Amino acid sequence: MNAVPVFYATTEGHTRLIAQQIASTLREQGLDSEARALADDMPPVNWLDVRGVVLGASLHGGSHQKVAANFARHEARHLSARPSAFYSVSLSAGSRKPAEVDAARGLAAAFAKAAGWAPNRVACFAGKLAYSQYGFVKRQILRCIAWREGAPTDTRRDYEFTDWAAVRRFALDVAADVHEQTRTPAVRAVG
């Protein structure tokens, strides 16, 4: 098991892309990290080897993936015992309407609270309107959501809204949390 795994749940793939970017930044900061897809039948995590942890999931129909909620609930004790961070991916997070952005933040905070997990950091990233990946019905639903959010409704192309600089800052903060936690016991031992 790597030292700072980035677990993720995704439906259309964008949360995986963000997880891979976070893991890449963590590696750049000298940490062993890789993006790992959550699955109900995944092997148990060896928490003894984990120095910090990131979990990501995306919003569909107002909630995050069940596999992520189950993982957070079952592993809450281990997640809270080390530097940990949650990121939520959605269209609302990139909305021009402050109430929608607030709603995305509220759902992300509620996700951790419902699991009994107290992450050091919670971030909301705007995702992607992947019209080309949706079937007819999904495309109409997303067109309605997009209209509500003030996002593009021309379904002939895809639109990505992610602020990659913010994703990088988030990963750098996580790396700092992990490095800080590693330093602190050593200082205490000397003192």
Which positions touch ligand FMN (CB under 6 A)?
A: 10-15, 58-62, 89-92, 104, 127-128, 138, 141-142, 145
The torsion angles phi and psi of 7, rounded to 5 degrees, stand at -80, 145
Nearest residue to 115 via CA among 159, 185, 67: 67
Residue 33 or 162 having the CB closest to ligand FMN: 162
Is 3 within 8 Å of 46 (Cβ atoms)?
no
Residue sitting closest to ligand FMN (CB): 127
Residue 5 or 94 having the CB closest to ligand FMN: 94
**Side chain identity at 146, as an amino acid letter?**
A
Is 23 within 8 Å of 35 (Cβ atoms)?
yes
- Cβ 163 to ligand FMN, closest distance in Å? 13
Residue 16 or 51 having the CB closest to ligand FMN: 16
Residue 90 or 178 having the CB closest to ligand FMN: 90
- Cβ 173 to ligand FMN, closest distance in Å? 21
- Cβ 124 to ligand FMN, closest distance in Å? 9
- Cβ 55 to ligand FMN, closest distance in Å? 13
Nearest residue to 54 via CA among 40, 94, 75: 75
**Side chain identity at 55, as an amino acid letter?**
L
Residue 13 or 30 having the CB closest to ligand FMN: 13
Going by DSSP bridges, is the β-strand pair 63-64/53-60 parallel, antiparallel, or unpaired? antiparallel
